[in-house]
A and B are shown apart, each in its own frame.
Chain A
Amino acid sequence: MILDALLRGVLVPALVAGVLLILIDRLPGREGGRGARNWLGAIPLAAGYASTQVALVGWPAFPPRESTHGLFYIAIAAALLSPLATARGIRAPLRWIATAVLAFGVPVLLLRSRIVQRWSAGESLLVVGALGSSLLAVGGAAGTAARLPGPLSYVVLLIPLGSAAGVLGLSGTALHAQLAGAVASGLGAGFVISLTRGGAPASPAMARFSSILLASVLITGHFYARVSVASALLIALCPIATACTEGLERGRSLSMWQRTLIHILGPGILGGTSLGLAVRAFLASDAAGF
């Protein structure tokens, strides 16, 4: 059972994302593989994620019947729209539209059942507005990762997703833990490739994709499982912590180790605290194990 979970949730997405990342790296372009990497960068992660979801629960219904189905289509939309939302050569209005569709489309799609069954129009607007604005901030901050040195850029994206996987697993949804873990595994493959093949950092599109999927699994975890607001908020703040530490580092000459430590510290503390809160809630519950 554990081997099967590892195969579907870790190995499959890592292999799919890794192979696609290497292939994209080899594509000819103005900057070697990097031009293509910026445009296609989120596709390996989305493919890794999608293969895990299909392996775990099959193809989702279309139109999505539940939020888990919605996650699949969010991954595809995020893979296609993240390059538009982040590429410098794109005209500003188009970039803003892509950014807004991603930020506000995610809560609308994931919280559809609440919007239809439970909330008033005002409540729905408030929640979607607040979550969409938070997604704008988190997505913008996540772009900082793409400016960090190669392997480090993957690590700062991986920490919040890995923490989210742990928190989701402790909060009653093993499926969503595996789905968050699938994105983390794809980033892990990127880290290994970056470490061994010349240190190319994660592309801005990849960083935006990761932030969208991170927010999506946290929203479903909070509204449909037992992820606490505190745990979700702490993890969502990880990309903002990375943006802050990048600001602190600017203009100082630091060794590679000092740089790594500074950038890992913020997300590490936030992710670790979030996990700690989830462990405490898990242990405080009335029974032992599934």
Chain B
Amino acid sequence: MSRLAWTAPAALLLPLLAPSAVPAPSPAAKTYKIDSVHSSALFRIKHNNASYFHGGFHDISGTIVHDEANPAGSSVEVTIKADSVSTGNGKRDDHLKSPDFFNAAEFPVLSFKSKGVKKGSAKEELEVAGDLTIHGVTKPLTAKVAHTGTGKGQRGEVAGFETVFTIKRTDFGMNYMVGPLGDEVQVTISLEGEIQ
């Protein structure tokens, strides 16, 4: 048998033997479904280089896998509907949904999908790395996420997580009105998940 004939099946088996890039969660890992009603996705942006202006989204969904014993087995997937942006002013919300900013008709969702989780430097802190997609542009993002608590909800255990990070909207192709509206956007994501 030729050398190639021996090596080809071995090469196919190698990925099975090698450790996976994202470790599987341990049996102790808990899966939570994001509760849109008790989760917040807020943003803060500078207006006219003077004040900070706040807004948010109210349609948030996704899943959190939290493995306390083995943080590397944790993961998170969050999806936010662009059309749910709200700033307390109907016309401004329409403007934010328009092609000038989020272009909600062409890019209906904002999303984050984790690629790796490790324990953070502080207690109850995780360092989550993944891909953030806004306005059809995907960029890598690493955020420090605090596990804010665990409690009892109507359908069982609930857990809370929160992160604050800053992005540049121009990195995501949202280039209109940079100047009157700042480029840097501070994002606060606060999630409550119900155990599955």
Residues of A whose CB lies within 8 Å of any CB of B are 1, 4, 56-58, 61, 65-68, 113, 117, 172-176, 220, 223-226, 282, 285-290
Q: How far is A146 from B108 in the complex, measured between Cα atoms in Å?
A: 42
Q: Is residue B131 contacting chain A, with contact meaning CB distance below 8 A?
A: no
Q: Determine if A290 and B92 form an interchain contact, defined as CB atoms under 8 angstroms apart.
A: yes
The segment from B34-42, B69-77, B154-162, B171-179 found at the interface with A is B171-179
Residues in chain A near residue B91, CB distance under 8 A: 172, 282, 285-290
Q: Is residue B100 contacting chain A, with contact meaning CB distance below 8 A?
A: yes
Q: Determine if B173 and A175 form an interchain contact, defined as CB atoms under 8 angstroms apart.
A: no
Q: Determine if A287 and B90 form an interchain contact, defined as CB atoms under 8 angstroms apart.
A: yes
Q: Is residue B99 contacting chain A, with contact meaning CB distance below 8 A?
A: yes
Q: Determine if A65 and B136 form an interchain contact, defined as CB atoms under 8 angstroms apart.
A: yes
Which of B89, B105, B137, B176 is the one whose CB lies under 8 Å from A287? B89
Q: Determine if B105 and A223 form an interchain contact, defined as CB atoms under 8 angstroms apart.
A: yes
Q: Determine if A66 and B90 form an interchain contact, defined as CB atoms under 8 angstroms apart.
A: no
Scoring B residues 83 to 115 as 1 if CB is less than 8 Å from chain A, else 0, what string do you get?
000000111101101111001011110000000
Scoring B residues 107 to 139 as 1 if CB is less than 8 Å from chain A, else 0, what string do you get?
110000000000000000000000000011100
Q: How far is the CB of A78 from chain B (nearest CB, A)?
A: 19
Which of A113, A117, A224 is the one whose CB lies under 8 Å from B98? A224
Q: Determine if A172 and B106 form an interchain contact, defined as CB atoms under 8 angstroms apart.
A: no
Closest to B107 in A: A66
Q: Determine if B90 and A68 form an interchain contact, defined as CB atoms under 8 angstroms apart.
A: no
Closest to A66 in B: B106
Q: Determine if B89 and A113 form an interchain contact, defined as CB atoms under 8 angstroms apart.
A: no
With most chain A CB atoms within 10 A of its CB, the pick from B95, B97, B98, B107 is B98
Q: Is residue B153 contacting chain A, with contact meaning CB distance below 8 A?
A: no
Also in contact, A66 and B89, with CB within 8 A (given A4-B179, A57-B175, A225-B98): no
Q: How far is A286 from B177 in the complex, measured between Cα atoms in Å?
A: 24
Instruction: List 11 interface pairs A-B (beta carbons < 8 Å), by A numbering.
Output: A1-B48, A58-B170, A66-B135, A172-B91, A172-B98, A175-B176, A220-B99, A224-B99, A225-B94, A225-B98, A287-B89
Q: How far is A285 from B95 in the complex, measured between Cα atoms in Å?
A: 12
Closest to B136 in A: A65
Q: Is residue B180 contacting chain A, with contact meaning CB distance below 8 A?
A: yes
Q: How far is A68 from B173 in the complex, measured between Cα atoms in Å?
A: 11
